[in-house]
Every structure is written in C-alpha cells, then in structure tokens.
Chain A
Amino acid sequence: MTSQNIVQFDGPTILKAENVAVYYGDKQVLRDVMLSVPTHKITALIGPSGSGKSTLLRCFNRMNDLIRGARVEGQVTYHDQDLYDPEVDPVEVRRRIGMVFQKPNPFPKSIYENITWGARINGYRGTMDELVERSLRRAALWDEVKDRLHENALSLSGGQQQRLCIARAIAIEPEVILMDEPASALDPIATLKIEELMHELKENYTILIVTHNMQQAARVSDYTAMMMLTEDRNSATVIEFGKTQAIFTHPRDRRTEDYITGRIG
C-alpha cells in the first residue's frame, strides 16, 4: 500500500486507529486505516465524497454503534485504551470525546438549558451559572448572549447556534472534540468565527475535523489526513498523513496532489 506516505506522528497522541475496517452490512466502507491523532492539535480529514471521512470520525466515539448493521474491526484506542472493549461504556466514551455536527442542532430549549442539560445528566456538582458562563466564554459566544440566556436557542443565528453546540460539547469537559463539517452550513463570517474558536480551543482540547473545504483544512489544521477510495473502488482508507503545511505545498502522494489541486474528486 502507500504506507510510505503515512508519517506517524512522533509526539503525544490521544486517539489511534490501527488496521481499522468498517462494514455497513456486507459492504466494506473502510479498510486498513492507520491514523494517530496528535494531542492538543487540530487534525483535518479531507478527501472526496464517499471516501469514508465521516465514517472514520464516528469510529472515534462509537457513533457507528448507533447505525444498524455497522461493524468496526481493527483497533481504535483512546489513551491506549481499546474503545471497543466490551467493558467500555459507549456513553462514557462520548462524554470524553464530544461531537459537533454539520447542521447546528441545539435542543429547542433555552440557551442556558442547552449548556446545563448534559452536565446535569453527568452529575455535575458545581454552580450551573459558572458552568454556563465558562462554556459560553470558551465558545466565544458569551458576549453575544449573556443578556438573553433564557431565550430559546433556536432564536440564535446559525453561526451562534453552532457555537452554542460547541459550548454544549465543552460543558461536559471532553478531551477531544470531533467536528463533522461544522461550518459547511454557515456564511463566511460565521465560518471564520468557528475557525478562530478552533484555534483557541486547541489549547485545551484535541480537535479532529472532517471538512470538504480544502482552504478551511489549510487554514485551521496542524495535521491533515487524506482519504481516498482504494484502487478497486470498493472501500476507502487514509492514503497520506502529515503536517498540513507539507500536504498543501508538496504532498507526496499523486492522488492527494490531484485532489487538492482540484483535478479529481
């Protein structure tokens, strides 16, 4: 295969996929995936539609469990702990490894309750007001909503709703945030706000983001993994991994080059 193009990150890593394969029923969608996610960095998953980016993302917090007929083989580890060990509680996994989706999906409740809901379920013992302020500040939303915390979250703009979802995710103190095209439904200004926020968040969190927007991957990420269908076109894998700067100026794999220069995909 193309293992010479998978530069294993030699610093601290928090998530690791080794020889991961994913099936939806009889159909294999991912094979031979090797990926180490560097701690406190932003890693982007890029690749054409159907190259398994979202499927791989969902492997890292067992969201594929929720899809009927989905099966994950190989090893996915978090701090060297096998995430698919029968002893591991998937709910606990998702608490430590949060997720933000393509379309903002706040609960149809107040801004305040959106933040406190997850914390309450998880038995948070601190002061809720403090949690709300801290989470909204970290998500760069506090100044915009501090006077309307009890209004319905759906009254916010799309960009604000997405930052609220990020605030909701970080309120339960995860270590990792998975983002599945978090800005694709937002306008350029709201998109830039999310990207600025990501830069701030990586101080405290590790971020793995799926994006179709190449310029966004280039702007926000420290590392990039390129995914692609294998030659038989039956399933997909990671074909190249490296520093974003290197991937976007001189990728090693011809297919990465063709994809990011807009010549295939």
Chain B
Amino acid sequence: MPRQHFDEELRKLQEHLIRLAGLVESAIGRSIEALKNQDVDLARQVIADDDTIDASQYAIEEEALTLIATQQPLARDLRAISAVISIASELERMGDYAEGIAEITIRGAKEPLLKPLIDVPRMAEMAQRMLHLALDAYMQQDVEAARKLSQADTEVDGLTSQVQDELLSYMLRDPRNVERAMHLIFVAHNLERIADRATNIGERVVFMVTGEIIDLND
C-alpha cells in the first residue's frame, strides 16, 4: 500500500533540496570565476545571492519539520527527511564558503594576483566534482558512489597542503607577498572545507539508505 500523499510531499521536499544544491554549485563556480578574473561585480553578485541560499535552507527545514509533525514518518521515511535537513545545512555552509571566496576577491582586487592560479582552480574543480558526485549518490541512493567521496577528499587534502606550502614559500621570500598569499590560503581553506562537506553529504546518503553511520572524512 503506497502512502501517496506522504510520498508526494517527500518528493517535493527532495526536489527543493536539489534546487538548493543547484544554487550552491553555481555560487561555488562563480566565486572561483570571479577570483580568477578579479571580477568584483560577479563577486558582489555571489554575495548577494547567498541570501537566497539561506532562505531556501530555512524553507526546506520548515517543510521537513512540518512533514515530521504531521505525518510521523518512521524508519526509511524518517531517515530520508533527516538526510534532507542535514544535507540542506551542509549546502548552506558550502554557500557561505563561496561567499567567503567572493569577499576575498573583492578585498584583493586592488592588486594583481600573486601568481597565475593553477592549483586553486584545480582544487575548485575537484571540490565541485565531489559535490556533484555527492548529489548524484543522493539522487540515485547509491551507497558505493557515496563511499568513493572518501578517496576524492584525501586527494583534495593533499592538494591543499601542497598549495599552502607553496604560498608559505612566497611569504618567506618576500613579506610584501604576505597579504596576497594569505588571501589565497583562505581560498584554499574554503575549498578544502567544501570538499569535506561533500563527504558529509555522502555520509548522510549512506545513513539514509542503510541506517549506518560512517565516517568518510578520516
């Protein structure tokens, strides 16, 4: 016996989550675009759009709580709703990291970039790919795909240390580099955190499907 009304409401909630994910993916992509091109207008746009992301997360949380309060979901239904709430919160924080990158772009726009960006855009690409992978795993309820995020996260962590070491050497070479190098270190940190949160989404997918809590981020 299907629970049509409940299933329909749950489907709407999940669609809402996917729309939020789209906004966040776009914010991350545009924040890196703005950084590379020192495009202050685009950076301002990313910052302004973060309000939409925040509002969307609250709306999802409210819908999810309403479903819990009115439908008393249990077992896989309850896990599905709990996953939506957690993933929405992960996405909202990812949006904040993109906003942070946009703020750095605005702050650093008066001076040319310290160096041509190579590793940072690579990190961004990897973080975006992880988010994409996490969302695919969510939509397909694919535990194996979710587990693969752990490997990708390790790669991002490795690249982060590499970028930080390189920027540190710039700072040691010439103190006038410090401010601009620090900016890029923050950017790398934000991207690394985005990747971490993509693995958190993967953990939620595993929990939603199996009821098992695992750590993909060690």
Contacts and interface: CB of A to CB of B under 8 A. Distances in A.
Interface in B1-27: 1-3, 6
A260 interface: yes
Interface string A201-218: 000000000000011001
A219 to B, nearest CB: 11
Contacts of B73: 261
A248 B76 CA distance: 9
A21 to B, nearest CB: 29
Interface residues of B, number: 15
B74 A261 contact: yes
B211 A249 contact: yes
Interface string B72-101: 111111110000000000000000000000
B68 to A, nearest CB: 12
Nearest to B7: A263
Q: Name, among B1, B74, B77, the residue most crowded by chain A CB atoms within 10 Å (CB to CB).
A: B74
B1 A251 contact: no
Task: Classify chain A: how many residues form its interface, as a range.
Answer: 10 to 19
A61 B1 CA distance: 36
B74 A260 contact: yes
A192 to B, nearest CB: 15
Interface string A249-265: 11100001100111111
Nearest to A265: B1
B72 A251 contact: no
Contact of B2 (A248, A257, A263): A263
Contacts of A261: 3, 73-77
Contacts of B2: 263
Interface in A212-265: 214-215, 218, 248-251, 256-257, 260-265
Contacts of A249: 74-75, 78-79, 211
A248 to B, nearest CB: 5
B64 to A, nearest CB: 16
Interface in A147-161: none
Contacts of A251: 75
Contacts, number: 38
Contacts of A256: 75
A265 B73 CA distance: 16
Contacts of A250: 75-76, 79, 210-212
A215 B76 CA distance: 15
Q: Name, among B72, B75, B78, the residue most crowded by chain A CB atoms within 10 Å (CB to CB).
A: B75
Contacts of B74: 214, 218, 248-249, 260-261
A232 B79 CA distance: 31
A265 B211 CA distance: 23
Nearest to A247: B75
Contacts of B77: 261
A218 B68 CA distance: 14
A126 to B, nearest CB: 45
Contacts of A218: 74
A215 B2 CA distance: 19
A214 B71 CA distance: 12
A264 B75 contact: no
Interface string A129-157: 00000000000000000000000000000
Nearest to A264: B1
25 contacts: A214-B74, A215-B72, A218-B74, A248-B75, A249-B75, A249-B78, A249-B211, A250-B75, A250-B76, A250-B79, A250-B211, A250-B212, A257-B75, A257-B76, A261-B3, A261-B73, A261-B74, A261-B75, A261-B76, A262-B1, A262-B3, A263-B2, A263-B3, A264-B1, A265-B1
Interface of A: 214-215, 218, 248-251, 256-257, 260-265
Given A214-B74, A261-B73, 14 more contacts: A215-B72, A218-B74, A248-B78, A249-B78, A249-B211, A250-B75, A250-B76, A250-B212, A260-B75, A261-B75, A261-B77, A263-B1, A263-B3, A264-B1
